[in-house]
Amino acid sequence: MSTSRRRRLFAALVVPATLLLLGGTAQATTFSPEVDPVAAINADIAQHNHELGSQIRRVEGDKSTPATQQAAQQPQPAQAIPNQVLATVAGMDVASYQGNVDWASWWNQGKRFVWTKATESTNYTNPYFAQQYNGSYNQGFIRGAYHFATPNTSSGAAQATYFVAHGGGWSKDGRTLPGALDMEYNPYGATCYGLSKAAMTAWILDFHDTYHAKTGRYPAIYTSTNWWGQCVSGDFSSTAPLWVARYSSSVGTLPFNWSFHTVWQYTSSPLDQDTFNGAYDRLQALANG
């Protein structure tokens, strides 16, 4: 090969690469690798997903310890339902962060009920919902679904409708809990989503009534006493079972006008753990409506 030809070949190879390094306009070959489905799911979770209690822990903290967790699993006499036998049932709640859950393992650890995240707002569904919701049921769990509310993005009716259409419904099979409405601190901004107490109450009522119209059941309401006191003025105690979050050895003061809790989330370690306030037959009664 002649010297001049070698120089021309060298220039053809080097100049485009040099231009690329210097921000030049030379065209380079582009590659479109297949999207990694796991990476896509993780990106979706990071952008749109907030699990139950995540914002309560962010604001109020989780200072639970092995001692408080043990105490929380004991009956709470001061908050017991009148005339019921003092007892508790161990449970848990999960979201897409847990991925595919080993239900046999949790069953063997004594858990008997679970709520799994189905939806958030009107644009997110849990990609692991089927494995978590159906897998727990097949293992023997009494299971339900929950919705993470964003009251500043759409109406309560719209979010209840979306929730029911994406796994949040109810059936009287003895093993399906009513859907739960997750009301907690705003992950994106103002604590109460920019709503007054009256407006927040109206939003919750819109969800509450729409869910009832579509399923025949009123939703359970998950919240913390601190958030509820700041953001809500209404009374849902006569219709909505209370699922309260408090990471301590006692359930403490309850949100406005609820005289007892139905479920208590008492820790997030090693994952969200809950107790049902009553014996197993009362948990079955909640499922049956």
274 is catalytic: no
93 is catalytic: yes
Catalytic-role residue among 93, 182, 272, 274: 93
Q: What are the percentages of helix, strand and coil residues in the chain, rounded to 5?
A: 40, 15, 45
- Determine the 3-state secondary structure of 20 from DSSP: helix
Residue of 106, 217, 113 lying closest to 168 (CA atoms):
217
Which residues, at least 6 apart from 93, have a Cβ–Cβ distance to it below 8 Å?
A: 51, 52, 53, 114, 115, 116, 117, 146, 265, 272, 274
Measured from the Cβ of residue 227, the count of other Cβ atoms closer than 10 Å reads: 21
Q: What is the DSSP letter of 176?
A: B
Q: Are 247 and 266 in contact (CB under 8 A)?
A: yes
Q: Give CA–CA dist 224/245, Å, rounded.
A: 5
Q: Give CA–CA dist 272/92, Å, rounded.
A: 6
Residue of 176, 184, 106 lying closest to 145 (CA atoms):
176
Catalytic-role residue among 60, 62, 120, 184: 184
Longest dimension (CA), the chain: 102
Element (H, E) at 37: helix 37-48
CA distances from 85 to 176, 278, 280 (A): 23, 7, 10
List residues with catalytic annotation: 93, 184
